[in-house]
Amino acid sequence: MSHSFSRDRTMELRQSFEGGNESTNRENHSPNNNSTLRSPTFYLTPNDDDFTNTTISRSPPTSRYYSGADLTTTNSYSNNYNTNNANNATINITSNNSSTSLSSSITPNYLTNNAHNYNKYNRKPRQTRPEEVIEMNEISVKNGHANIDTLEEFFEEVESIKDSITMVNENINIVERLHTAALISSNEQQWTQLSSQLENMKRDTQSRNLDIKARLTELENANGKQAQISDGQIRKTQFSALKKRFMDTIQRYQDIERAYQQKYRQRIERQIRIVKPDATQDEIETILDNADDDAQIFSQSLMQATRRGHAKAVLSEVQNRHDDIKNIEKTIVELHQLFMDMSLLVERQQETVNVVEQNAETAAVQLEEGTNLYGGLDLITRQDDGIDIPNDEGVNNFDDSPYFDYHHLKAIENHDSKYLGQSLSISPAAHHLSDLHIDDLGLPTLPKVPEKSSIIKEPVTHTADPNAKFEAKDDAITAELCELYGNLQKCLDLREKYITLSGQRLTDDPRNHDDWEIYPAAPPKSWPLPSPEELERRKAKEMAREADPVAAVGSDFDFDQCKIPGPHVYSYGIGPNGFYQVYRNELDQTAEAPLYQFPSPREFYDDMDFILSVISDGPAKSFAFRRLRYLDSKWQMYILLNEFQELADSKRTPHRDFYNVRKVDTHVHHSSSMNQKHLLRFIKSKMKKSPDDVVIYRDNHHLTLRGVFESLGLTAYDLSIDTLDMHAHKDSFHRFDKFNLKYNPIGESRLREIFMKTDNYIQGRYLAEITKEVVSDLESSKYQMVEYRVSIYGRSIDEWDKLAKWVVNNKLFSSNVRWLIQIPRLYNIYKNSAAVNSFQDIITNVFEPLFEVTKDPTSHPELHVFLQRVIGFDTVDDESKPEKPIFKDFPLPKDWTSNVNPPYSYYLYYMYANTAALNKWRQTRGFNTLVLRPHCGEAGDTDHLTAAFLTSYGISHGILLRKVPALQYLYYLAQVGIAMSPLSNNALFLTYERNPLPQFFQRGLNISLSTDDPLQFHFTKEPLIEEYSVAAQIWKLSSTDMCELARNSVIQSGWENQIKAHWIGKDWHKPGVQGNDMQKTNVPDIRVGFRYETLNEELEALRRYAPKEGKFNHEDPISKQDYVGVAGLAESSSIQQHLISKSTTDNSHIGSFPGAGIVAERAKLRSNH
């Protein structure tokens, strides 16, 4: 039987649903009307903007079909929710079959929020327009079931069921709100009204649930009768989704009912305990289960006059609500049964699902066989198919070609390119699509999919050959990306050129050769055991050291035992560019024909400008940022997979942990190498034991130590840590001027001159004594080393001799100590004080003695011995000072006579050029060479880091790299050593939590921890351990992390190869795992291997797309290809095409890049059409 509804009939139904008179409702829904029309959802008609007067009916203006349970006269009623005012909302539910009207006062926001959810778009007060009348499609019924033979009718039924499920969800929302209102109701009348409304709503919801279940069963039966496979698959998919949605709704209804039951019982239990606080749990459970028979507890309470009224009220409430709990339990049972029925329905579909999966696997196998059979994608159009071979114009028109159009390219870009860019294995044995070429597999060549740009540039000519194929240039790596790779590689080549020419490579330093000798020699190894005589000698020496640790420092040094070589035939002089040059003889010097050639100032600044242009380029910054983020993610993945393996490896290593692996303080200033307490004790000791020592000459008077303190009005008793005031507190942050004043004890420069200078009236005796005390502590710890930085100012030419004699005469020689020379950038101060006339004077004062002692060590024997333990140069000062940039003119040092301080890069270039010439000569003579390790990147401009990248072996601080991603990436690729001091940065320029050290470390930069100035920043007698401990606590470093930092510090340090081999392994200079000795470093091989493979992958991309030219070539093997960072620089579709053109039909390789198969299938489908 078929029912159809006219437009007038629809209007009448609309009026009844919107709350018309009861006669109309009864007429349209009489018992004799057995229409199976679906009951409508709620429809909100606001009467004003603030929802204070609102009507909710069950006809949705936005839904095309009615939804819900079958609407018959036995189950049909219209619910009209009227919100009377903002403070008191009344729910009116009119039942058509009982004509019972119920009302209740509920908190207004329940209904206001609910109304807003039903129709959030219809907020303006208006009358319903005729065109908004809901269309009623004719519902055909055959044999009691809906007509769903066609796919269109099937989808209409699916949408109708979806609307019904939506209606059930809305009913559940109302039930939940009524539950809340019932729980907070305060009187019996109100509770009765709410209970009635809940019962009506639950009956309606249950009816709808049963109807949905029946209709789903009809759909299942109808699906089983479909003969068309494609339609059947669509129907099964839609049915499964619909069924899951309905089961989720049932489950939600069950959860809400259970929660209400629990809260309901809790409320009654509270009421019982109010009446009788001493009621047992068994009594309460009995009352809740059978409220009519067991009311003795209330009868006893009624005997008490003071509580009679309240007990009667509670008894009435418990008895009235007992049935409600039973009804809730009944509802839960019904919902559970419905849920079980739907689960059974799911199980019956499992066999069909298995068949679908089997068919899908068969189709995949057949597709692979077809691809192998035809040798790839058949993209050639044929004349007999009625499609002409495209000419030039047709090729440029993507709509007429078999290739991807704009929409296809965008889809590929959005879904596939990012995966292709970031899904590479870290294993060297892993193969990727682009690593295998089709020619190597003996298979037919796959045609490449041309890019639009390449097609336009190289149009295809007409040809009558039916087998002709499109030829296109492989532009998967765009010109922009190739240029970027080339620029980055050029930056690395420039650094390699400068480092090689200056002799700063590891193999350039003769001290790293096996035949290197130094006096006194390094302490002998403890294992294997020496001869008994040697063992006794060592024990005696150790006992003497323990008896007087300070006197033991340098006790084995005898200057007379030092070997001083003779003069050399080479000569030297200042060249035309303002730095020293080495000549084979005096004739070559007269002819200005130096033995070695180095970059001129103009060449240096051109190279630096090139690097600055690269690191400031937008695509380069984006590329580097993505690569660094990739390194972060790769580290996180490595730690997740290998953290416990590292811990297990460390536990298996005997006699090694963080405390007994060698660690080097790679950046510490000698004059502040002690802590405040140590300096205070030393000053008080001298005041007590040597008060009459003449320590200073000022104002034409000699002053004793006692006289100095009397002039200051202080005694030894008055001194304290706070009195010294040498610790960098909050007042030093971004105030480098105040920080420099902290070097003056009690703020007096005369005390700094007495206790913290090497060149003073007492020839640095006090500083030598306190240095020995600090060094003795280091020797006692055995595993801590330092590289002290002492100053050469360049004010006079005899500074080197004074410093060398101070070291030699005080026997400051220890296997735990090496030295760096720091040159303060204070030309402007010296110029203003008339100490120098030009910048050339500073160069002469700093480097002239070094060339003299290299030519003839006998001219400065103490300096020759001291230089054997000198590692290199540093330049120090406040980097945040503004500088005058150099753009066009490059004045020579002799011409720099103004009072303006030269910029950082100018200082660094001339230090580099003079050091390069000096190193070449010293290398020829077999003397140790020197490296540049300046303070850099703590503050100031980007060109500081750029100049250091070109010229320096390593740097100190480098925290500004966090702001220059491209330069940071270059520092990573070149593995430039960075000695970072987070506690120092925390006091001066960057708070500890913002320090980039943990991020640099995770990414794989060559990082070590250092103390900088223990006197200003540390509190303990082991400042390096304090630095490690704070970092480990704040950044949660593991033992492996700290051991890796310690290993990095040894590698960055300037100790000779023989000592490093004893500390971290004989093959420490080899890359990767073969250079790691876990028995000495306690760094697991898996960590070292991860670092090496990751770095090698990054370098390989540069080698692959920007091959190096010239004599400066790496020899590291290429292992894998990486596309990370390519997104945004190359069209993702081009990368896809590049990968497809080099891929095989092997499922394992295609699985590595899921997007490739999708691209191929889309191309094949378009070609078939």
Alpha carbon distance 1153, 1148 (integer Å): 9
Q: Can you say how many angstroms the Cα of residue 971 is from the centroid of all Cα atoms in its chain?
A: 18
The DSSP code sequence of 353-413 is: HHHHHHHHHHHHHHHHHHHHHHTS------GGGT-PPP-HHHHH-GGGSSS--HHHHHHHH
Could you check whether the bond before residue 599 is cis, i.e. omega within 30 degrees of 0? no
Choose among 1169, 1167, 1157: nearest CA to 367: 1157
| 887 CB-near residues (< 8 Å, 6+ apart) | none
Asked whether 208 and 174 are in contact (CB, 8 A), the reply is no
Residue 217 token pair: 């069963």
Asked whether 1008 and 640 are in contact (CB, 8 A), the reply is no
CA distance to 118, 678, 773, 1021, 1029, per residue, from 777 (Å): 79, 12, 7, 8, 19
User: What phi, psi does 1164 have (nearest 5°)?
Assistant: -65, -40
Where are the strands (E) in 555-689, listed by range? 571-574, 580-583, 663-669
Residues in the chain, overall count: 1169
Q: What's the pLDDT score for residue 108?
A: 38
R_g (Cα) of the chain, nearest Å = 44
For the chain, list residues with pLDDT below 70: 1-148, 185-187, 224-231, 275-276, 287-361, 363-477, 727, 729, 734-743, 886-888, 1107-1169
DSSP state of 42: P
Q: What's the pLDDT score for residue 355?
A: 61
User: What phi, psi does 91 have (nearest 5°)?
Assistant: -100, 120
Q: What's the pLDDT score for residue 48?
A: 37
Choose among 875, 847, 892: nearest CA to 602: 892
Over residues 752-794, the pLDDT tens digits come to: 888 989 988 899 999 999 999 999 999 998 999 999 999 999 9
| Per-domain boundaries in the chain | 376-384+391-428+452-462+1130-1169
Alpha carbon distance 37, 72 (integer Å): 8
Residue 728 token pair: 């960098």
Residue 942 token pair: 């980007």
User: What phi, psi does 446 have (nearest 5°)?
Assistant: -80, 135
Choose among 1033, 971, 1036: nearest CA to 1007: 971
Helix (H) or strand (E) holding 197, with range, is helix 188-224
Alpha carbon distance 181, 110 (integer Å): 9
Terminal Cα-to-Cα distance of the chain (whole angstroms): 45
CA distance to 823, 904, 1011, per residue, from 876 (Å): 6, 10, 16
Asked whether 942 and 1017 are in contact (CB, 8 A), the reply is no
CA distance to 428, 429, 1100, 1107, 1114, per residue, from 1117 (Å): 11, 13, 8, 13, 9
Residue with tokens 């009913």: 171
| 154 CB-near residues (< 8 Å, 6+ apart) | 148, 219, 222, 235, 238
Beta bridge pairs of residue 704: 694
Helix (H) or strand (E) holding 299, with range, is helix 296-302
Buried (b) or exposed (e) across 244-275, using 16+ Cβ within 10 A? eebbebbebbbebbeebbeebbeebbebbeeb
β-sheet with 145-146: strand ranges across:
2-3, 139-142, 145-146
Choose among 283, 287, 288, 209: nearest CA to 248: 209
Q: What's the pLDDT score for residue 354?
A: 63
Over residues 383-440, the pLDDT tens digits come to: 444 444 444 443 344 344 444 455 555 555 554 444 444 444 444 444 444 444 444 4
| 300 CB-near residues (< 8 Å, 6+ apart) | 276
Alpha carbon distance 959, 939 (integer Å): 8
| 66 CB-near residues (< 8 Å, 6+ apart) | 37, 38, 39, 40, 41, 59, 134, 136, 160, 163
Alpha carbon distance 1160, 911 (integer Å): 59
Q: What's the pLDDT score for residue 246?
A: 86
Residues carrying an active site annotation: 957
The SS3 of residue 572 is: strand
Choose among 472, 492, 824: nearest CA to 669: 824
Q: What's the pLDDT score for residue 1082?
A: 96
Helix (H) or strand (E) holding 820, with range, is strand 817-824
Helix (H) or strand (E) holding 829, with range, is helix 827-832
Alpha carbon distance 930, 933 (integer Å): 10
Single-letter residue type at 616: S
Asked whether 847 and 914 are in contact (CB, 8 A), the reply is yes
The SS3 of residue 1015 is: helix
